[in-house]
């Protein structure tokens, strides 16, 4: 049995790096018989290709992948961080310039959140920045209902376990108390969902 890893990279990844589609959508194109490699139709994404291979999608020659890039994007409230939404809500991609190449968000901000969002055209950069092991600190300004004390922040700073889910320690600072609401700055180093909002209490 030949245990050597085939040279090149998976065909779906090559199509995604060329900016034509996401890797998942590229696999669907392949399964639908829309992709040819060296003149032959392929119907399985389990194929490695190199720069020597000629790849056509819907009869059009696949272009060379663009160099890896990052964009800074200020996401406004009211947009979904997704390329499509099952509820028909507007997404960040509906607001992108038409001449922008296909980009992916690094992490996400929820519908009612706003702030800095990184976009990239390179899946490897996206995965690297999203890994908890990478340790990038994400800071969020959060409004909560209540009058929290320093003691109430201790569980967050120590790390939480909710059911089977383990959350890493967070940095938490109280910025100001305004009536019944408090404004916090919370720093996270992982991309799990943490639900804080106007009805959260500490």
| The domains spanning 9-61 and 70-130 adopt the same CATH topology | no
Residue 181 has pLDDT above 60, yes or no: yes
70-130 has which fold?
Alpha-Beta Plaits (3.30.70)
Report the predicted TM-score, pTM, of the whole model to 2 decimal places.
0.67
pLDDT at 193: 55
Please say if the pLDDT value at position 46 is more than 70.
yes
Q: Is the confidence at residue 156, as pLDDT, over 70?
A: yes
| pLDDT value of position 20 | 82
Residues taking part in catalysis: 110
> CB–CB of 71/118 below 8 Å?
yes
Share of the chain above pLDDT 70, in %: 91
Q: Which fold has domain 9-61?
A: 3.10.290
Domain boundaries, the chain: 9-61, 70-130, 135-188
Determine the pLDDT at residue 127: 82
If you average pLDDT over residues 182-200, what whole number do you get?
Answer: 68
State the pLDDT confidence band at 4, using cuts at 50, 70 and 90. low
Is it true that domain 135-188 has CATH number 3.30.70.1560?
A: yes
Could you tell me which residues come within 8 angstroms of residue 134 by beta carbon, excluding any fewer than 6 positions away? 128
Mean pLDDT of 77-102: 90
DSSP string over 151-170: HHHHHHHH-EEETTEEE---
């Amino acid at each position: 049995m030949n245990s050597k890893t085939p040279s090149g990279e998976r065909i779906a990844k090559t199509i995604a790096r060329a900016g034509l589609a996401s890797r998942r959508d590229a696999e669907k194109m392949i399964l639908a018989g829309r992709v040819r490699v060296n003149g032959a139709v392929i119907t399985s994404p389990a194929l490695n290709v190199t720069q020597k291979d000629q790849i056509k999608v819907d009869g059009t020659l696949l272009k060379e992948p663009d160099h890896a890039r990052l964009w800074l994007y200020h996401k406004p409230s009211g947009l979904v961080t997704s390329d499509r939404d099952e509820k028909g809500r507007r997404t960040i991609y509906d607001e992108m310039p038409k001449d922008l190449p296909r980009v992916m968000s690094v992490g996400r901000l929820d519908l009612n959140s706003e702030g800095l969002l990184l976009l990239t055209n390179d899946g490897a950069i996206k995965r690297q920045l999203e890994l908890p092991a990478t340790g990038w600190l994400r800071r969020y300004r959060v409004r909560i209902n209540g009058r929290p004390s320093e003691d109430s922040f201790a569980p967050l700073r120590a790390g939480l376990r909710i059911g089977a889910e383990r959350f890493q320690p967070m940095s938490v600072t109280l910025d100001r108390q305004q009536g019944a609401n408090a404004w916090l700055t919370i720093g996270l180093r992982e991309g799990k969902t943490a639900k804080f909002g106007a009805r959260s209490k500490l």
